[in-house]
Chains A and B, each alone.
Chain A
Amino acid sequence: MPTDCLIEIQNLTFYRGERKIFDDLSLTIPRGQVTAIMGPSGTGKTTLLKLIAGQLKPHAGRILVEGQDVHQLSRTALYQLRQRMGMLFQTGALLTDLTVFENVAFPLREHFKLAEPLLRTLVLMKLEAVGLRGAFDLMPAELSGGMARRVALARASVLDPKMVFYDEPFVGQDPITMGVLVDLIRKLNTSLDLSSILVSHDVNEVLSIADFACVLSEGKIVAQGTAQDLLNSDSEYVRQFIQGLPDGPVPLHYPVKPWADEWSTP
């Protein structure tokens, strides 16, 4: 495995019930960059993150993270690996019975025995980085969606992970919050020397910060490269996705009988 490769997905096949989500998918995610995984809703982007994090098991193929086969690791080794991962969930997934401060402090309290003043400083620094130091004593129910995601981002980065996964970070955000999140993801990646894996279908925002991007369709990678490569792609599918065209290789209509058959059937 080359040293600049963080995650290597080899011949991954995964089913949900009868439905094949990934079909012999192979992908290499580079270290130290912002990688975007894009695709329409339902293509299995979040599932791919869960597979990489070892929360789901593939039916075939393997996933190597820092050279380790995630699904062959013991529970202890997997948990050690996860301490080097951070994940920002779509909903934020903050623990609802803890304050903002305690949510960010939670991973530190669980894994390290830090003196309270040091822990307080670390947590407040992380909250400062996302602009929410002043909101440290609020409860998650008192936060807006954007604020909750920023707290979740502070929590995801509090253990100084080597890689952070972002699951649809821009969904349902107003333009200002979206801009703040885009900026934060880029800055955190550079200043903390992270590798960021971003799953999203917000094409413009994602392509503005991604060093490397790929597009998923029907369980396979249909295009990959830099943002410019994707913008210049001659694949009809990629063009439809990037330009947001209503019809094309991805049909507007759900599979349906022809009109003539509709009227003739009793």
Chain B
Amino acid sequence: MIFLRYLGSSSLEVLQALGKLAFFVFSVFPALPYSVWRFRLLLKQIYFTGVLSLPIILTAGLFVGMVLGLQGHNILTSFNAEEAVGTMTALSLIRELGPVVAALLFAGRAGSALTAEVGLMKSTEQLSALEMMAVDPMKFVVAPRLLACIITLPMLAMIFIAMGIFGGYLVAVGWLGLDEGAFWAHMNDQVDWHEDVINGLIKAIAFAVLIAIISLYQGYESVPTSEGVSRATTRTVVHASLGVLGLDFILTALMFT
């Protein structure tokens, strides 16, 4: 009986949270056009979410590409197909690793920062103060941050991919002595603009929306105490990371089957 009661109350809680999330999403999307007009505000958020994420994206991209180059070379040599290292590195990065790893890093760096910032704005009554000054926090706080994420994550994913390919090139060509012409020519032949690059970009945009919505919702609905904001930040990283991996499977199934 207690189990049934627990099941009922937790299901109701989940449904209530989903309802709140849906309401949040429906309130924020109509506010998006306003953030285009608040260009300075948008620019500031692009700096915070995008430019400040660059070091981690550049470094991670380089190392992921180097590992791919090394592993690819080791495996493909057994099949006498080491010229395909460039293709393998590029396709893995463009189709999967670029958008997914960039999104996971973005969720950890920018997503958690967004939750903490909005959560603290709530706990210090700044959101209430905006409401009292007849300024909609959805337009002033949430929408510019969402739009900034949608603009920056695809760019960061592309930068991650470029750095990864460069890392693969350094290892395969610079260190292991693969022919440079073969590395680039195979890549040019096999990577398709629409099938691979555009689909990778679509994934990055979808991940950006997901991460931004989760981070901003968690901050906006956080319990306004230090413990509440800390829990909300943790939830953002966990939910956004799992959400990215789950959504990646769905998008891959839709795009490549």
Contact = CB atoms under 8 A, between A and B. Distances in A.
A53 B126 contact: no
A85 B129 CA distance: 11
A122 to B, nearest CB: 15
Interface in A77-111: 79-80, 82-83, 85-87, 89-91, 93-96, 106-107, 110-111
Interface in B118-169: 124-126, 128-129, 131-136, 140
Contacts of B140: 110
Contacts of A95: 126, 129
A28 interface: no
A79 B132 CA distance: 8
B173 to A, nearest CB: 46
Interface of A: 50, 53, 55, 79-80, 82-83, 85-87, 89-91, 93-96, 106-107, 110-111, 155, 159
Nearest to B123: A91
Interface of B: 124-126, 128-129, 131-136, 140
B123 to A, nearest CB: 9
A85 B132 contact: yes
B128 A96 contact: no
27 contacts: A53-B131, A53-B132, A55-B131, A55-B132, A80-B134, A82-B131, A82-B133, A83-B134, A86-B132, A87-B132, A89-B125, A90-B125, A91-B124, A91-B125, A93-B124, A93-B125, A93-B126, A93-B128, A93-B129, A96-B126, A106-B135, A107-B133, A107-B134, A110-B134, A110-B135, A155-B133, A159-B133
A80 B125 CA distance: 21
B128 A55 contact: yes
Given A87-B129, A89-B129, A96 B124 contact: yes
A161 to B, nearest CB: 10
A53 B131 CA distance: 9
A50, A83, A107, A155 interface centre (most CB from chain B within 10 Å): A107
Contacts of B131: 53, 55, 82
B134 A82 contact: yes
B155 to A, nearest CB: 24
